[in-house]
Structure 1
């Protein structure tokens, strides 16, 4: 295992619940259990992908790590500092080094602001540059993401979806962060544009030494950008390993089902392959099952699955899986 200083981010038993108002005759306080005790470590300079179905809690995890949402419990260590306890100027400094690219390039840009002001927003908040130096930095950032300096005076509605996402990436780069959380940055884009954005993110990572937490539900695209991948189900990580190992040897039944759903461009191979379709529907995060959350849909469920929640256990070669079946 890597030494502690190699990790830029460590997340320990992170929990995020969203309380719900109780009913008229209900005494029990309910909550949406979006994230339920995830732990992960991100090495400096790598890309860790987080994948899973819609509603599994991956975006909530990313926003909680950067403290857009306050964590319910757990610990977040970024560059040796406890993000969960940071306040005031300390939190501002941590947020300067952790930036985010949002999913929707249409909703994440203020339509009343020019592109130049959007890109420089974090520069202004942290009071880093003014005057001509600020303008030069804006032009530099636009060039980095493949846009022209004259675009600085235009408004978001004058750009395509791919161009808007480039503006969002330029905004994230403005304050020279070391970690960028990419919250499904390509899901709202056309397939041809997705490849361009992913290639650009890889080039920026190599050029600027960035670390990415790449959140997505498209397993086929995550494979190409991620060094390691964490698979989430109903607020928990069920498998975590290298990208190559996950695709070559998926161990958790849920991961096997996800990978079997990826279409293969060869129609003959596609017609002969066996699909693994979990039974039933995803349980409610308000009232998840006891023990293993996946047991209600798993074809291999055993009695112990209802009694105990499986812990992430290393199966060799840093391949972590949370499944009782693999402990037999």
Structure 2
């Protein structure tokens, strides 16, 4: 693996629930509850899971759009977990975010030139040939025309708006980009174009991506490593090939069984696993293993003892008492700090 760019240790984000005239806290939404992982320079690290599992919250924590409740976020060896806004501002050049909604993430009152040129102004960055020329070059880079400089967001399609957002993200040449479901709001025909664009930009500018997605087909196409989240916790981390060919956590197995298979012969052999019940509330998650209320392999220990995230195969970590596809011969499990 390459050099470590980002390290996350026991990251927690709880949103307080307040009631009454005095606004006393009566509970908390446990959106993210103890995540530990690292992202290497130049790779695409994906976070996947059902809606409400904490993926987007994690992305906003990594870019410090949200303040962590506890835990550490280390970027290039520097702890940025609780940096003040003034000290965080210079780091915004290196850590950027692509938002999910290409309609809501662009100010409808501003022209494309003003939107894409805003990072230069906010960071007081001087360009060789002026901001306008730099913006037009960025627009060309993402597949738009320099003539779009004076147009407004409402004049573009969804795919074009997402390209504008990507151009804005690239303005300061960041080292890390958190992409929050960058293609989920787009037509299928446009999704492939945007995904290919992101891959081309990664190769050209040596970018590192944290990709947040629920479409496992897209994740398989773009990822180097994948982390599966369930109800605020990571239940499995593995490289792309290992995760898709030999998933170990029952939740991952269930997710992959729902992925459409174009080959009718393979589809006939694939067993569709239908999870029973709804995802529990993050306000009051199940004790111990949070997946035990929906897991077909759950036993008494799953209700009383939380499984630690262990390395059961090289580069493959799983938090389960009864994992699937476990290697017959493997070194002693190695615990991480994600329990």
Task: Tell me which interval the TM-score lies in, with the shorter structure as reference length.
Answer: over 0.9
Give how far 1:89 is off: 3.7
Aligned to 1:236: 233
Structure 2 residue 96 is matched with structure 1 residue 99? yes
Task: Determine helix, strand or coil for the equivalent of 1:176.
Answer: coil
CA distance, structure 2, for counterparts of residue 70 and residue 257 of structure 1: 33
Unaligned runs of 5+ in 2: 327-332, 334-339
CA distance in 1: counterparts of 2:46 and 2:34, whole angstroms: 18
1:276 Cα offset (Å):
0.9
Distance 1:56 1:166 in 2: 27
Aligned partner (choices 249, 252, 255) of residue 252 of structure 1: 249
Equivalent pairs, count: 325
Comparing 261-270 with 96-105, greater Cα deviation is found at 261-270
Shift in alpha-carbon separation, 1:62–1:26, aligned structure 2, 3 A = closer
Once the two structures are TM-superposed, the CA of residue 266 in structure 1 deviates from its matched residue by 2.7
Structure 1 Cα separation of the partners of residues 81 and 174 of structure 2: 19
Query: Quick one: distance in 1 between partners of 2:172 and 2:141?
Result: 14
Say if 1:302 and 1:185 are closer, same or farther in 2 by CA, change over 3 A: same
Query: Pick from 261, 285, 289: which aligns with 1:288?
Result: 285
TM-aligned CA distance change 1:26 to 1:60, over 3 Å? closer
Residue from 296, 312, 317 that aligns with 2:309:
312
Question: What residue number does 2:72 align with?
Answer: 75
Which of the residues 55, 59, 66 maps onto 1:62? 59
Distance 1:93 1:278 in 2: 45
The correspondence for 1:46, drawn from 23, 38, 43, is 43
Q: Does 1:225 align with 2:222?
A: yes
Q: Which residue of 2 aligns with 1:324?
A: 321
Question: Is 1:155 paired with 2:155?
Answer: no
SS of the residue 1:197 aligns to: helix
Question: Normalized against structure 1, the TM-score is what?
Answer: 0.95
The whole-number CA distance in structure 2 between the counterparts of 1:277 and 1:251 is 17
1:195 is displaced (CA, Å) by 0.5
Deviation at 1:132, TM superposition (A): 4.7
Q: Measured at CA, do residues 27 and 18 of structure 1 come closer, stay the same or move farther in structure 2, by a change above 3 Å?
A: closer
Q: RMSD in angstroms over aligned alpha carbons?
A: 1.9
Q: Secondary structure at the match of 2:26?
A: coil
Bigger helix share? 1
Query: Which residue of the other structure, out of 83, 104, 108, is the alignment partner of 1:86?
Result: 83
Separation in 2 of the partners of 1:45 and 1:132?
Answer: 29
Contact 1:22 1:30 in 2 (8 A): no
Q: Secondary structure at the match of 1:311?
A: coil
Q: Determine the structure 2 residue equivalent to 1:202.
A: 199
Q: Which residue of 2 aligns with 1:19?
A: 16
Decide whether the 8 Å contact of 1:46 with 1:227 is kept in 2. Answer: yes
For the 8 Å contact 1:59–1:183, the answer to whether it is kept is yes
Tell me, in whole angstroms, the C-alpha distance in 1 between the residues paired with 2:233 and 2:194.
28
Q: Confirm whether residue 140 of structure 1 aligns to residue 137 of structure 2.
A: yes
Residue 129 of structure 1 deviates from its aligned partner by: 2.5
In the aligned structure 2, how far is the partner of 1:35 from the partner of 1:319? 21
Give per-residue Cα distances to partners, 1:103-132, cap 9 Å, x unaligned.
Answer: 000111000000011111111100102795
Counterpart check, 1:177 vs 2:174: yes
Deviates more, 1:8-17 or 1:270-279: 270-279
Q: Which moved more, 1:118-127 or 1:271-280?
A: 271-280
